[in-house]
């Protein structure tokens, strides 16, 4: 039984790139979406073990998504990773304050993402 990870990122190239990294971890199934709205719709339909979200997105931003997830009794235990871009410390800090578990600064080292995934997903 594989665990599901949701990736929310509006840039297609970035999304595919991150998805490829996450999928490379054995035992993980990836669900991707390009928008916060879609993420809101996906949440009740799947059981995600982890969510990775970008901050700047066209409909709702990543912080709003984190806030939504963390305030909602159904999802509040799902760990969230924030992907931020170098130099936007405020977004990162707010993400952490809202309850994000980790942040990844682009460009990030693939190995570090894998290690984090294993830790939070409790994979061997």
Query: Binding residues for another protein, per CB under 8 A?
Result: 11-14, 16-18, 20-21, 24, 36-38, 40-41, 44, 54-56, 59-68, 70-74, 85-88, 90-91, 94, 97-98, 106-108, 110
Considering the complex, what minimum distance in angstroms separates the CB of residue 13 from another protein? 4
DSSP strands (E only) in 9-123: 28-33, 48-54, 80-85, 102-106
Determine the Cα–Cα distance for residues 82 and 40; give it in Å rounded to an integer. Answer: 16
Considering the complex, what minimum distance in angstroms separates the CB of residue 95 from another protein? 10
29 vs 64 by CB, closer to another protein: 64
Before 17, cis peptide (omega within 30)?
no
Considering the complex, what minimum distance in angstroms separates the CB of residue 82 from another protein? 11
27 vs 44 by CB, closer to another protein: 44
Considering the complex, what minimum distance in angstroms separates the CB of residue 77 from another protein? 15
Determine the Cα–Cα distance for residues 60 and 79; give it in Å rounded to an integer. Answer: 19
54 vs 102 by CB, closer to another protein: 54
Interstrand relation of 48-54 and 80-85 (parallel, antiparallel or unpaired): parallel
Say whether 84 sits in a helix, a strand or coil.
strand
29 vs 67 by CB, closer to another protein: 67
Determine the Cα–Cα distance for residues 42 and 20; give it in Å rounded to an integer. Answer: 20
């Amino acid at each position: 039984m594989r665990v599901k990870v949701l990736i929310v990122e509006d840039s297609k190239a970035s999304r595919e790139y991150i998805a490829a990294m996450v999928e490379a971890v054995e035992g993980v199934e990836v669900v991707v979406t390009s928008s916060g709205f879609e993420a809101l719709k996906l949440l009740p339909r799947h059981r995600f073990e982890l969510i990775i979200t970008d901050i700047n997105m066209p409909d709702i931003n990543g912080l709003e998504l984190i806030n939504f997830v963390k305030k909602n009794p159904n999802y509040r235990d799902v760990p969230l990773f924030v992907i931020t871009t170098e130099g936007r410390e405020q977004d990162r800090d707010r993400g952490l304050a809202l309850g994000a578990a980790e942040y990844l600064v682009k460009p990030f080292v693939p190995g570090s993402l894998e290690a984090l995934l294993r830790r939070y997903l409790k994979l061997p």
